Amino acid sequence: MGMEYFQEWNTNRETSSSTTTTTMTTQASKLYGKDLSVYDDLDVDTLLSQLSPEEISLLAKEVDPDDNLLPPSQRCGYECDKEPTGPLDRKKLIEHINKQALETPDRPEAKPFVAGVVRGKKWVAPEQSQQERDAEEQIAIDMGDEYEHALNDATQEEIIDLAAILGFHSMMNQDQYHASLLNKGQPIGLGWDGITKSTQPKAYPAEPPNLTDIDKTIRQVQEDDHTLTDLNWNNIKNISDEKFETLFDALPENTHLEVLSLTNTGLTDRVASKLADALERNQTLRVLNIETNFISPPVVVKLVKALLKSRTIEELRAANQRSQVLGNKIEMEITQLVEANPSLLRLGLHLEYNDARHRVASHLQRNIDRRRREAQEVRCAATIRLPRASLKKIEVPESISSLSPSPSPSPQPFTLVTDEDNTESIVPSSPELSPSTPADENPF
């Protein structure tokens, strides 16, 4: 039955193929001479289950080869039923292909090749218009007699140095550019058409291993040793999480440690969360470096958020973590936390979005400017102090004051005064000058 249905379907397909050209412009309402509604109740799975393997293979050949749901082996119409003769020998296969290519005669040419004779139509470049020829002409620049004379008499090395100064990098190679900047003289044999050879790499000695005693430094942090202000565990491998936790538990009670470096130490999210909790209670740490570890972006946000409570961290470096790209949501959250931090001066993080980079850089610059103004105010307050009752004045002698003209409404002069603790300050002097002070003590 299945074979008869397949033959009937194939016959209907062949007979209807001759009439498809007349019905392409109208909407198809019939299939194989029957309405489409007739095929709605047909169960395709039942029909396919009634076909034999030979009938299924014949039906498979009628499938569209561009069907992406089929594997590539079934899209190809070629089928090889030959049994394999043995394992594939690549060398013999290549030799057979080369031998077959040599034995296959070349296709005969319609016109034999003759040296010096052009076969076919020769290509001739189209003639350029007058506008195109004018555009290709060189533009004459009047540089003046002085500059033109200097450039005409300049040597090749001088022109290369001038190109390096002006930033014309495409006119020279790398060796010429660096030689011009360092004023070493141009390399011999390297002109405009010179070939730059690769320079030999400089051998730098490997960095010595970090010999910091982990247990000793942990005890120093726990005991609040005043000699330990910089703790460097960079590049120390195989530090257990218990030692990290012991160090971080001792940080809130420490009042002398200012710099903590934990680069490339294998910090994970669990340990970094302990560090964030310790930063919230520490009041002396200024620099924290945790680059090149395995911290995820949410924990980085937690570390930046912890800085809002301590308000002592001035520099945080946390680049090159598990995820190179933080994402827009994480970067915007970090930006908002940084903008709320008045003490952070430097942030070592790779931000992808321009908005986040610009906002973070602007806020950090404002923090640096404010810190500079505060430092200037402190220096001014330490230099200019108000006079006290116990100050000893150093006044100008009468002999010098008598030389001055009559008093004028100009500002009063300043007098150098000395406090009891030998602290010198500049204060406005009194209009009455005492003649008891020697002339060599006059600050003016």
> Considering the chain, what is the average pLDDT of its residues?
77
Average pLDDT value for residue range 183-196? 69
User: Nearest 5°: phi and psi at 236?
Assistant: -90, 120
Rounded to two decimals, the pTM is 0.47
Ranking 133-142, 147-156, 244-253 by mean pLDDT, the lowest is 133-142
Q: What is the spatial distance between Cα 290 and Cα 231, in angstroms, rounded to a whole number?
A: 12
Question: Shortest CA distance to 258 belongs to which of 229, 224, 219, 218?
Answer: 229
Rounded Cα gap, residues 331 and 337, in angstroms: 10
| Direct distance between the N- and C-terminal alpha carbons of the chain, in angstroms, rounded to an integer | 126
| In the predicted structure, residue 411 carries a pLDDT above the cut 80 | no
Residue bearing the bigger pLDDT, 222 or 72: 222
**How does residue 415 score in pLDDT terms, banded at 50, 70 and 90?**
very low
pLDDT digits (tens, 9 = 90+) for 190-212: 666 666 667 778 888 888 899 99
Tell me what percent of the residues of the chain surpass a pLDDT of 70.
72
What integer pLDDT is reported at residue 288 of this predicted model? 95
In this structure, is the dihedral angle defined by the CA atoms of residues 428, 431, 436 and 440, taken in order, positive or negative? Answer: positive
The highest-confidence range among 35-39, 49-53, 162-166, 317-321, by mean pLDDT, is: 317-321
Confidence of residue 356 (pLDDT cuts 50, 70, 90): very high
Q: What is the mean pLDDT of residues 47-65?
A: 79
Q: What is the pLDDT of residue 358?
A: 94
In the block, residue with structure tokens 């047909």: 42
**pLDDT confidence of residue 29:** 62
For the cut 60, the answer to whether the pLDDT of residue 160 exceeds it is: yes
Q: For the ranges 133-137, 315-319, 372-376, which has the lowest average pLDDT?
A: 133-137
C-alpha 11/C-alpha 221 separation (Å) is 92
Got the DSSP string for 235-270? T-----HHHHHHHHHHTTT-SS--EEE-TTS---HH
CB 247 within 8 A of CB 222: no
User: Residue 162 and residue 350: Cα distance in Å, rounded?
Assistant: 37
In terms of pLDDT, which residue wins out, 133 or 438? 133
Does residue 293 have a pLDDT over 80? yes
Evaluate if residue 233 carries a pLDDT over 90. Answer: yes
Tell me if 416 sits within 8 A of 444, measured CB to CB.
no
382 has a pLDDT exceeding 90: no
Please tell me the predicted confidence (pLDDT) of residue 334.
95
pLDDT band at 385 (very low <50, low <70, confident <90, very high): low
Residue 378 CB-half CA count within 13 A: 6
CA–CA dist 340, 301 (Å, integer): 13
User: How confident is the model at residue 59, as a pLDDT?
Assistant: 78
- Residue 219 pLDDT: 94
What is the predicted pLDDT for the residue at 116? Answer: 85
Among candidates 261, 220, 218, which has minimal Cα distance to 240?
Answer: 218
Closest CA to 395 of 373, 417, 378: 417
Helix, strand, coil shares of the chain, percent, nearest 5, are 45, 5, 50
